[in-house]
Amino acid sequence: EVQLVESGGGFVQAGGSLTLSCVASEFTFDDYAIGWFRQAPGKEIEAVSGISSNDGSTYYADAVKGRFTISSDNAENTVYLQMNSLKPDDTAVYYCAAVEGIYHRIVGLNYYGMKYRGKGTLVTVSS
């Protein structure tokens, strides 16, 4: 059974940094897209960043461009989200999610279209 487990969340002051990790167990697909989503209190879940296994293309939401970086370590079956210059608006539960398939030039992600989803890790940014 495929499982995605996030870690790395925590409490940080505005301007600080955190790195989230998503370990994908039993994930043996060669073709997939994997990404990070977040849900702030009282808000809809939104896509933050994603990466394609096929061409390495990445997607970033406008709100995080230039501050967040997604990367993957295929040998460790792990995807990372490096978050710098954090703002209080970044406070949310961050979820990792993945879907099988061939994806090129990712321009967006839909959480409800991702077959595999983690349980999330909380990021709190204080002002």
Closest CA to 34 of 19, 26, 18, 23: 23
State the residue for tokens 């879907």. Answer: 99
List of long-range contacts for 59-66, beta carbons under 8 Å, 24+ apart: 59/35, 59/106, 59/107, 59/108, 59/109, 63/89, 64/90
Give the per-residue pLDDT at 6.
98
Residue by residue, pLDDT tens for the chain (127 residues) are 999 999 999 999 999 999 999 999 988 888 899 999 999 999 999 999 999 998 889 999 999 999 999 999 988 899 999 999 999 999 999 999 999 988 888 888 999 999 999 999 999 999 9
pLDDT given for residue 90 in this prediction: 98
